Structure 1
Amino acid sequence: MRKLIRDIKVKVEVKGTGDAVVFVHGLGGDLNIWHSQVSACSPHLKTVTYDLRGSGLTDVSHPDYSIEVFVEDLKALLDSEMIEGAHIVAHSMGTMIAEHFAVVYPEAVKSLTLIGGFTEPPEGARKALADRSTLVRENGMESIADAILEGGFSSFSKSNQVMMGLVRSLLLKNDAEGYAASCRALAEAKAISHQNVKVPVLLIVGDEDKTTPLSMSKALYNSFPNADLEVLPNCGHWATIEMTNEVNAAVLKFINRI
């Protein structure tokens, strides 16, 4: 369904009952990257997936996106579902949204699971994201899809043509203006101190992740007071699709112990 959240209509899917788990996708993704995780979690928990502003079937709206805008969208979504506290599971850019959300709204977070997480984009990545924003606006999503597939997956995953086709199609469904605005938001995003985040944190990263490599998750691990780190072998950046069983098991084990 599409719900009016703040100034936009947001694509939202809710399944199951019990403690709420809210999934936040990353740049270029949409709620479909969580298909396997929802299947694993919804028999035991209330799962909420949604398309970020400018992604999937959610409205694009104004072009001035920021991590802060995404944070307020997430809070409004939880309020609309009458969720006072949730386990937040996030991927890639979504991890920055989740980190900031946990600092701004600590009472709304029961735990954080950050998959392919990072504190902030390195300077080189900021320029690359700004350049990508311009390229997509001028030439569409087709102009960057192959580069994302090449850099985002492990050597093993690249041999899976069905998986590659699925993610390519997901990327190409993105609205170019929405994707470009998200690129700019990420390019300008700043790190936030995690020292006051007291909830349990699980960090999951692929050992072949070139987009947000292991070193970034290690930096996150050292920045949170209460974090665990799980490294997935033969896995790239799109762990929720590449290593579904391993991610599902790690997420459920983590949430069930809280």
Structure 2
Amino acid sequence: MTTNLVKNVVVEVEGGEGQPVVCIHGLAGSSNNWTPVLPSFEGMKVIRLDLPGSSRSDLPAEALSIDLYVDSIAAVLAELRGANAHTVAHSMGTIVAQHLAVRHPELVKSLALLGPLIELPEAGRAGMKARAALCREKGLAGVQEVAGAIVKGATSAETKAQRPATLTLVRGKRHAADAGRICAELRGTRGCTCSRSRKNRRSDSARDGQRRRCWPGCGCEGDG
């Protein structure tokens, strides 16, 4: 395994000259999320990255956003010759992967989306906003509250009853995260994240010289 730094994004590469596969983690995750499934990618060139502001990758000066994540992944794949890669993503990462496929189809050979999302529903955006405010106002205590809510809502009754180690891992990953970074991630991903209309609105964006966050029928107006 080699560790690379591409435009302040930490990237781990395993394997040799096989078909590339890029792994995109979810909110408050890291490249380590993919460690348990690495045997499934035997014979492939596995590219795992810590998204900007996550784990070992620096928090950039500009605000985090889905577009920023896509730009970063595209730069990583260009640097590491990862074009036409199988793309595997989890949770929030599935939104990033879909945008990557629409904006850079030459980089994506296939999509495998685990816990896929197209966009956050209105209730989800409101929840993201509330969690970001909690982390900003309470710091580590806020992160702990968010971690508790995630453990409660995102793990099954079976996991809660029979897999305490899994609960500890999920809770611990959130506790270990920096409050400022968590807040930035939540703010950066709570806005509308439709990818389905990007092809249709490219010409509009070129004409008016600005990038709109969403398509007109989505109902997302403003900054989310």
Flag whether TM exceeds 0.5 (same fold). yes
Structure 1 residue runs without a partner (length 5+): 197-258
List aligned pairs for 1:47-196, cutoff 5 A.
47-62=46-61, 64-139=63-138, 140=140, 141-159=143-161, 160-193=163-196
Amino acid across the alignment from 1:117: P
1:39 is matched with 39
- For the Cα contact (< 8 Å) 1:66–1:189, is it kept in 2? no
- If you compute each CA radius of gyration, which structure gives the higher value, 1 or 2? 2
What is the deviation of 1:2?
5.5
What is the deviation of 1:29?
1.3
Structure 2 residue runs without a partner (length 5+): 200-224
Alignment root-mean-square deviation, CA = 1.7
What is the deviation of 1:190?
2.4
Question: What is the alpha-carbon distance in structure 2 between the residues aligned to residue 3 and residue 195 of structure 1?
Answer: 31
Question: What is the alpha-carbon distance in structure 2 between the residues aligned to residue 174 and residue 39 of structure 1?
Answer: 27
- For the Cα contact (< 8 Å) 2:3–2:13, is it kept in 1? no
TM-score (norm: length of structure 2):
0.81
Question: What is the alpha-carbon distance in structure 2 between the residues aligned to residue 134 and residue 62 of structure 1?
Answer: 20
TM-score (norm: length of structure 1):
0.70
1:5 is matched with 6
What is the deviation of 1:195?
9.8
Question: What is the alpha-carbon distance in structure 2 between the residues aligned to residue 195 and residue 179 of structure 1?
Answer: 28
Name which structure has the greater RCO, CA cutoff 8 Å, separation 6+. 1
Question: What is the alpha-carbon distance in structure 1 between the residues aligned to residue 174 and residue 181 of structure 2?
Answer: 12
Q: Give 1 or 2: higher helix fraction.
A: 2
For 2:118, what is the secondary structure of its paired residue? coil
- For the Cα contact (< 8 Å) 2:5–2:11, is it kept in 1? no
Identity %: 35
Question: What is the alpha-carbon distance in structure 1 between the residues aligned to residue 100 and residue 13 of structure 2?
Answer: 20
1:16 is matched with 15
What is the deviation of 1:61?
2.0
Question: What is the alpha-carbon distance in structure 2 between the residues aligned to residue 59 and residue 70 of structure 1?
Answer: 13
Question: What is the alpha-carbon distance in structure 1 between the residues aligned to residue 192 and residue 46 of structure 2?
Answer: 27
- For the Cα contact (< 8 Å) 1:21–1:86, is it kept in 2? yes
2:30 is matched with 30
Runs of 4+ in 1 over 3 A off after TM superposition: 1-4
1:211 is matched with none
What is the deviation of 1:4?
3.6
List aligned pairs for 1:231-250, cutoff 5 A.
none
- For the Cα contact (< 8 Å) 1:2–1:58, is it kept in 2? no
Q: Which moved more, 1:149-158 or 1:98-107?
A: 149-158
